[in-house]
Amino acid sequence: MRKFTILAGLLLAVSLAQAQEYAPPKGDAHNGAALFQKFGCYSCHGSWGQGTGRDGPRLNPPPAFPVVLQQLRTPRREMPPYVASIIPDQGVADIYAYLSSLPKAPDPKSIKELQ
Amino acid sequence: MSKRIKRRQFLAGVAAAGPAISLISTTGTAAAQTAPASSIPPVPNDERSLNDMPPQTQGKSGSDFMIDVIKTLDIDYCASLPGSTFRGLQESMINYGGNRKPEFITTLHEDSAAAMCHGYAKVAHKPMACMVHGTVGLQHASMAIYNAFADRVPMIVLTGNIGNSVTRQMNVEWNHSAQDQAITVRDFTKWDDQPQSLQAFADSMVRAYDLATTVPMAPVLITADGDLQEDTIPPGMEKKLYIPKLKMRGHPTGDPALVQDAAKMLVAAENPVIYVNRYARTDNGPALLVELAELLQAPVVDSHGRMNIANRHPLNHSPRREPTFANADVILALEPVDIWGLTNYVADLIGRPDLPPRRNPNLKIIHIGSEMLLTKSNFQDSQRYAQVDLSIAGDAESTMPSLIEAVKSQITAAHKSRFAARGQKLHEMSAKFLDAARQDVAYQWEARPISTGRMVMELWDQIRNEDWMMPTESQFISDWPFRLWDMNKPWHTMGGSGAQGIGYNTPAALGAALANKQHGRVTVAMVGDGDFNMAPGVLWTATHHQIPILYLVHNNRAYHQEVMMIVRMADRRMRSNSPNLYVGTKIEGPNIDYAKIAQGYGMYAEGPISDPKDLAAAIRRGVERVKRGEPALIDIVSEGR
């Protein structure tokens, strides 16, 4: 079991490293925002990809595009699958463009109410 | 002291207890017995219809005695709305009893009345009563009673019944009478009775209170017979009636020998973890838990079933729940509710497989709790049966002092050194929790719809210097208060609904606010729009009785949990591109204006607020109202979670 875990970890690390090398395809952020709502992505990840704790992790900034695509098509854990007939690759690219366009979080120290 | 209190002695006791009660008792009886002289000339008998009817006034009635009984139980409030099956009891409560102890709190729905009892008891640490109509009122109240049962919270439910079919009036009274009123809620009450005499009522009422307030606590039901309420007490009988004295007794505690075994396991463990859910029963509960955790330098994981431990205590490792459990070789579970879930996980995947999380193969589990002391068969709130290594039946908080002493007696200098090293690592880890949560909420600070993190922190900014309480559940707002606020008083929060029956938060928060009123505490309730719509009438109750509470409506315009569920179903079935995806889960078209609803009930309200920049001022104005003793509501158009 432990060997399997180590092997899986290594494969994941390799695939993540490979994924970093792919440039994300061109997408339409505006359409991506609409798709993010339409398909209910916002319900677990928040409308701004901010995450909702246990329901869905933060997607701002998003992981590498192949990781996002792979997670959509063959999800790990309990995320439901989104097959290509539902969201084509271009739709995923649009969503990815939307997530990439989100503003970075301000420094929490700059927000009075968070002190 | 004799167990029996004679009627004469009881009345003397009431007089000694307070002049107001004594006055009410005397004048109430006298007024009923002395008819004023009439100036109307007598009508000849042959011109009167129904001339064979006896005089329609009466002396002390059965329900007056019932109020005498209820007054001995120190019940401050009774939430209710009128029902003809208990009209005698209601009249006695407000007139004979002077509308004090209990005071009649008028609600607009029986479910709200019962849910108010639920919230009140968790703050006041004693039950209040609700009085609901026979059959139909009890059916309305049933969900809230079930919530309280599943949450092991006491409440005294009173209902009426016209048990004698001969004296039952035609039509409606038949619809509202039953052979067995309690059957509607028997599966989720600890005890019920339908006493057939006034003496039996006294016995049963005191027994009901005794059972409800002894661990495991739960709702109880007493059905007051209509004839018994309304008929005059026969003169000869009144002298014989007595009210049993309620002696508060201790709660069941764990077997001392097993407690010693538990202490041995905890002291010997490399990585003990304390898990708490419905643990803290009194204001002393958190202090005892901290004492044990600090003795062992063991992390605590809290599921927030009660206000168990300060969220910023360095040993509170709830934000690291899974890694903490994964590292444990002993878990001490205190009133855990779901022990099986500590080592198992039914995934929301096709086939619902059990995917056990990573745990130490040598993990030992110690359970101290009262869950198994009250288990019923039908409704499945008992959770799945789990094997543990040491199970100690008893109230966890009551058992805690002996466990602490047992641990102390077994700790050596070598243990202390090892524990200190363990504690230092835990302190270093927990020092990062708050910054991580602040970073998370910063990502959503400017978001629209207004994020739950922003909503929660704008509220915190307005109450942090007040004596405050947040009685509502937080799982639907990403648990932000537990991650970001400084929650360190036993009354800062009180756990959840017990059975997740929606429509709990809005009325239960008002019950909590009722209990907080005497302390001048600012009660702030963040309620989802789905929950609010189940019980909007409580706003009228809050206004009518001037119960200070600030409602923030987390108005995400959806049953958001169900949005996620239906999307999941559609995704699995490859139908999530359907235009009907949100049918039945969105609360839109028209959008509901909760401020207008509140204003219609006479409450100060603002909203809907969509711009996060408008939040602070609106909440500030709401808090000011609450500090003046009024209720207020702010409608916030918000993110899903």
CA atoms within 13 A on the CB side of B16: 7
Asked if residues A24 and A89 have their Cβ atoms less than 8 Å apart, the reply is no
Task: Identify the domain boundary among B413, B431, B449.
Answer: B431
Residue A16, domain member (yes or no): yes
Does the pLDDT at position B518 exceed 80?
yes
Statement to judge: residues B232 and B288 lie in one domain: no
End-to-end CA distance of chain B: 58
Q: What is the DSSP letter of B297?
A: T
How close, in Å, is residue B531 to chain A by CA atoms? Answer: 18
Q: Is residue B372 part of a domain?
A: yes
Contact B574 A40 (CB under 8 A): no
Distance in angstroms (rounded) separating the CA atoms of residues B156 and B39: 46
What is the pLDDT averaged over residues A39-50? 90
Q: Which residue stretches of chain A are H helix?
A: 2-21, 29-38, 41-45, 65-73, 89-101
Distance CA B150, CA B166 (A): 38
Which of chain A's residues have a Cβ under 8 Å away from the Cβ of B446?
A: 103, 106
Contact (CB, 8 A) for B525 and B506: yes
Residue B361 banded pLDDT, cuts 50, 70, 90: very high
Is pLDDT of B268 > 50?
A: yes
Residue with tokens 């039946």: B393
Cβ–Cβ below 8 Å for A105 and B571: no
Is A67 within 8 Å of A44 (Cβ atoms)?
Answer: no
Which residues face B79 on adjacent strands? B105, B130
Nearest CA in chain B to A5: B358
Lowest-confidence range among A42-51, B360-369, B388-397, B562-571? Answer: A42-51
B199 shares its domain with B102: yes
How large is the average pLDDT for residues B393-417? 97
| B420-441 confidence digits (pLDDT tens) | 999 999 999 999 999 999 999 9
Domain of A89?
2-104
Do B394 and B314 have their domain in common? Answer: yes
Mean pLDDT score, B168-183: 96
Kindly tell me if the per-residue pLDDT of B458 is higher than 70: yes
Q: Judge if B144 and B70 occupy the same domain.
A: yes
Q: Quick check: B39 pLDDT over 80? A: no
Mean local confidence (pLDDT), B596-622: 98
Please give the Cα distance from A48 to B459 (Å, whole number).
Answer: 21
Residue B482 near residue B312, CB atoms below 8 Å = no
Total residues found in chain A within this entry:
115
- The pLDDT tens digits of the residues spanning B186-197 come to 999 999 999 999
Residue B579 forms part of a structural domain: no
The answer, yes or no, to whether residue A9 has pLDDT greater than 60, is no
B509 — pLDDT class (breaks 50, 70, 90) = very high
CATH code of residue A9: 1.10.760.10
- Chain B hits for A40, CB-CB cut-off 8 Å, are 563-564, 567, 576, 581
What is the tens place of the pLDDT at every residue in B89-111? 999 999 999 999 999 999 999 99
Confidence check: pLDDT of B50 > 80: no
Token pair in block for residue B240: 């014989």
CA angle B491, B493, B499 (to 5 degrees): 130
Residue B62 scores a pLDDT above 50: yes
User: For residues B184 and B146, is the Cβ–Cβ distance under 8 A?
Assistant: no
- Taking residue B113's Cβ as centre, other Cβ atoms within 10 Å add up to 31
Angle, to 10 degrees, between the axis of helix B413-430 and the axis of helix B285-296? Answer: 110
The shortest CB-CB distance from B457 to any of A85, A105, A114 is to: A114
Q: Quick one: B25 and B114 in the same domain? A: yes
Tell me what the mean pLDDT of segment B321-345 comes to.
Answer: 97
Rounded average pLDDT over B509-521: 97
Give the mean model confidence (pLDDT) for residues B50-64: 82
Residues 6+ apart with CB under 8 A from B430: B314, B315, B316, B317
Which has more confidence, A6 or B214?
B214
Residue B386's CATH number: 3.40.50.1220
Number of domains in chain B: 3
Q: Between the CA of residue B130 and those of B79, B87, B104, B196, B500, what are the distances in Å?
A: 5, 14, 9, 21, 21
Burial of B436 (0-12, 13-18, 19+ CB in 10 A): exposed
Quote the mean pLDDT of chain A: 84
Token pair, residue B155, equals 């409440």
User: Which range among A88-102, B34-48, B476-490, B528-542 shows the weakest confidence by mean pLDDT?
Assistant: B34-48
Mean pLDDT of chain B: 92
CB of B223 within 8 A of CB of B157?
Answer: no
Distance CA B527, CA B546 (A): 19
Q: What is B436-458 written as a DSSP string?
A: HHHHHHHTTTT-TTBPHHHHHHH
Spatial separation of the C-alpha atoms in residues B171 and B149, rounded to whole Å: 33
Q: 3-class SS at B296? A: helix
Residue B246 within a domain? no
Do B200 and B316 lie in a common domain? no
| Domain edge (last residue) among B238, B268, B301 | B238
Is the same domain home to B309 and B439?
no
DSSP states along B526-567: EEEHHHHTT-TTHHHHHHHTT--EEEEEEE-SB-HHHHHHHH
Whether B348 is covered by a domain: the verdict is yes
- Domain for residue A61, yes or no? yes
Q: Are B329 and B311 in contact (CB under 8 A)?
A: no
Question: B52-61, B313-322, B395-404 — which is least confidently predicted?
Answer: B52-61
Picking from B348, B439, B449, the nearest residue to A105 by CB comes out as: B439
Q: Is the CB of A107 inside 8 Å of chain B's CB atoms?
A: yes
Q: Is residue A112 part of a domain?
A: no
Would you call A70 an interface residue with chain B, using a CB distance cutoff of 8 Å?
Answer: no
Instruction: Assign A50 a pLDDT band (cuts: 50, 70, 90).
Output: confident
The percent of residues above 90 in pLDDT, for chain B, comes to 89
- What's the Cα-to-Cα distance from B438 to each of A111, B125, B446, rounded to whole Å? 9, 34, 14
| Domain annotation covers residue B322 | yes
Give dist(CA B167, CA B458) in Å, integer.
60
CB pairs under 8 A between A and B: 98
Q: Is residue B180 part of a domain?
A: yes
Mean pLDDT for the stretch of residues B218-238: 95
Using DSSP, state whether B16 is helix, strand or coil. helix
* Domain CATH for B489: 3.40.50.970
Q: Is A74 on the interface with B (CB under 8 A)?
A: no
Question: Do the domain assignments include residue A114?
Answer: no
Q: What's the confidence (pLDDT) of residue B162?
A: 97
Q: For the residues B609-634, what does the mean pLDDT come to?
A: 98
A93 within domain boundaries: yes
Contact A111 B442 (CB under 8 A): yes
How much is the pLDDT for B385?
Answer: 93
Q: What is the pLDDT, as a whole number, of residue B2?
A: 39
Q: Do B449 and A82 touch (CB under 8 A)?
A: no
Q: Residue A83 has what DSSP assignment?
A: -
Q: Of A38, A52, A114, which is closest to B442 when you measure between CB atoms?
A: A114
Distance in angstroms (rounded) separating the CA atoms of residues B49 and B36: 23
Q: What are phi and psi of B102, to 5 degrees?
A: -95, 150
Structure tokens at B161: 């019944």
Say how far apart CA B128 and CA B74 lie, in whole Å.
9
Query: How far, in Å, CA of B528 to CA of A100, rounded?
Result: 31
What's the domain count of chain A? 1
User: Binning pLDDT at 50, 70 and 90, where does residue B43 land?
Assistant: low
- Whether residue B267 is found in the same domain as residue B214: no
B84 and B160 inside one domain: yes
Phi, psi of B607 (to 5 degrees): 125, 180
Candidate from A41-55, B47-61, B329-343 with smallest mean pLDDT = B47-61
- On whether both B426 and B501 belong to a single domain, the answer is no
> What pLDDT sits at residue B11?
35
Which of B389, B412, B431 is the endpoint of a domain? Answer: B431
Burial category of B212 from C-beta neighbours within 10 Å (exposed 0-12, middle 13-18, buried 19 and up): buried
Residue B399 sits in the same domain as residue B444: no
pLDDT at position A24 is 80
* Measured distance CA(B112)–CA(B508) in Å, rounded: 8
Residues of B in contact with A78 (CB under 8 A): 347-349
B412 with B501, same domain: the answer is no
Token duo for residue B363: 């993990």
Pick from B77, B64, B58: which is nearest to B10 by CA?
A: B64
In this structure, the strands spanning B272-276 and B103-106 are unpaired
For residue B384, give its domain range: 256-431
